[in-house]
Amino acid sequence: MGIAGLREHMNSMRLEISTQRQRLLGRTERRGSQTGFPTWGAFAFGGIFVAVGTAIMLVGLRVIPVDPKGVHAPWWVLTVMGSVFALAGLAVWGMAVRQWRSEQRRRETEQRNPGEPALADYGWDITGFTPSRWSRAAKALAGAGGLTLFLSIFNYWAFFAKGPWMVKAIVFLFDLILLAVWWEAVVRLGRALKFGGSRIEFARFPYRPGEPVVLRWHPADGIVQARKGSFALRGVEEWFEHRGSGKNRSAHLVQEEFWRATWQLDEPRLFTRGEIVELRFELPDDAPSTRLSTDKDKPVFWEFEVNLDLPGLDFEETYLVPVYGPQLLNRFNPTVSSTPLAKPRQLSVSWGG
């Protein structure tokens, strides 16, 4: 693409900057690696669910004999109930394994590279970030399947065991939510099938507060003609909110945006195979550092998000961006200046092959 074409596309983009805090809706992927329990405690907590769930499941399968007179539900209901408990325990074990790996990586990296806490914080590829093509779809399908199993017990109670009308109404409402969950899972699977892998390359590692963030985005193969879209760099704080008490106590993932710069694409744009889109952002001087393995503070991370309006399924993807404080030794980018830029609104974008 020539200079004229480059300027034309730059003129078609408009910049929006937001410093207002707002919660991000529909977020289910936890970025922080800590569970809030000691690692052994997370394994023990998950083990209780696995043990109880397995026992109930074996009762339902009639492997463990019990007096049928004491069972007031079909055997399959017990099997499903046990499966739900066991799957919940396995999910906790998965988080415990992630936490254990994070702690191992932090200890090993601190010994090998004591001046590079960025590498201890997260398992970065210092050249870029490639999101898993199938991970989000697999997690969505697994979540929808688990919720289906869980609600099947209440559907039996409401519609086959002649439950009261109030129970029927509540279960029907949750069944509608389940349909929405399945729809989202199918959409994510469709996106994984339609789009190939995408990636961003880092111009440096890590990025520093108050300095330029230059990202080179490699579009997925399935992206051809975009009607409009957006490219955003945002800072996010993450935590869990606990609601209810006793047996009704539950934890809900919260991710709250505290800063965002967005390039808006308002005109149709044709993407050619192998094209690279380079975007430049300026971080504020007081931008918080990424902390994904913290066990004391709320996790903080920076992400680059691409949303494109396409024929059929739209493209949506997020990529983690390493932003860490100036105390880091920049051994990977010795030629890059660390002088902060004075004008944070001078952002740019370019398109090239």
Q: CA-to-CA distance for 205 and 332, rounded, in angstroms?
A: 6
Averaged pLDDT for residues 46-65: 87
* 254 within a domain of the structure (yes/no): yes
Provide the pLDDT for residue 113: 65
Given a contact cutoff of 8 angstroms between Cβ atoms, the answer to whether 230 and 265 are in contact is yes
Residue 203 counted as domain residue: yes
Do 146 and 86 contact (CB within 8 A), yes or no? no
CATH classification of the domain holding 226: 2.60.40.640
Q: What is the DSSP letter of 291?
A: B
Which pLDDT band, with edges at 50, 70 and 90, does 347 fall under? very low
Which candidate, 125, 123, 106, 98, places its Cα nearest to that of 30?
Answer: 98
Residue 131 lies in a domain: no
- With a CB cutoff of 8 Å and minimum separation 6, the contacts of 250 are 242, 243, 244
Q: Which helix (H) or strand (E) holds 335?
A: none
**pLDDT of 217 strictly over 90:** yes
Rounded mean pLDDT, 190-196: 88
Residue 190 lies inside a defined structural domain of this protein: no
Check whether the bond before 326 is cis (ω within 30° of 0). no
Max mean pLDDT among 25-29, 60-64, 135-139, 298-302 falls in 298-302
Alpha-helix residue ranges (DSSP H) falling in the chain:
3-11, 39-60, 75-112, 117-121, 135-155, 165-194
Model confidence band, residue 340 (pLDDT cutoffs 50, 70, 90): very low
Over residues 133-171, the pLDDT tens digits come to: 888 888 889 989 999 999 998 898 888 887 888 888 999
**Residue carrying structure tokens 């988080």:** 95
Q: What is the per-residue pLDDT across 238-254, written as a single tens digit (0 to 9) for each?
A: 988 877 666 566 678 89
**pLDDT range class, residue 332, cuts 50, 70, 90:** very low
**Residue 178 scores a pLDDT above 80:** yes
The reply to whether 298 falls in a domain is yes
The sign of the torsion formed by the CA atoms of 153, 159, 164, 169 equals: positive
Is residue 155 a part of any domain in this protein? no
Q: What are the CA-CA distances from residue 300 to residues 99, 307, 331 (Å)?
A: 16, 22, 24
- Write the single-letter amino acid at 19: T
Sign of the Cα torsion 133, 139, 142, 145 reads negative
273: in domain: yes
- Report pTM: 0.71
Residues 6 or more apart in contact with residue 83 via CB below 8 angstroms: 53, 57, 149
Structure-block tokens of residue 103:
């702690």
Sequence-ordered list of residues with C-beta below 8 angstroms from that of 28, at least 6 positions apart, any chain: 139, 143, 253
Give the pairing type, strands 300-309 and 250-265: unpaired
What is the rounded distance in angstroms from the CA atom of residue 181 to the CA atom of residue 174?
10
pLDDT at 249: 62
**Structural domain contains residue 184:** no
Cα–Cα distance between 118 and 326 in angstroms, integer?
11
Amino acid letter for position 51:
A
Structural domains counted in the chain: 1
**How far is the C-alpha of 193 from the C-alpha of 187, rounded, in Å?**
10
Q: Which DSSP string corresponds to 122-159?
A: S--BTTEE---TTHHHHHHHHHHHHHHHHHHHHHIIII
Paired residues of 320 in beta bridges: 303
Gap between the Cα atoms of 83 and 232, Å rounded:
40
User: Which domain, by its residues, includes 237?
Assistant: 1-30+197-353
What is the DSSP code (8-state) at residue 61? T
Give the residue-averaged pLDDT of 184-199.
90
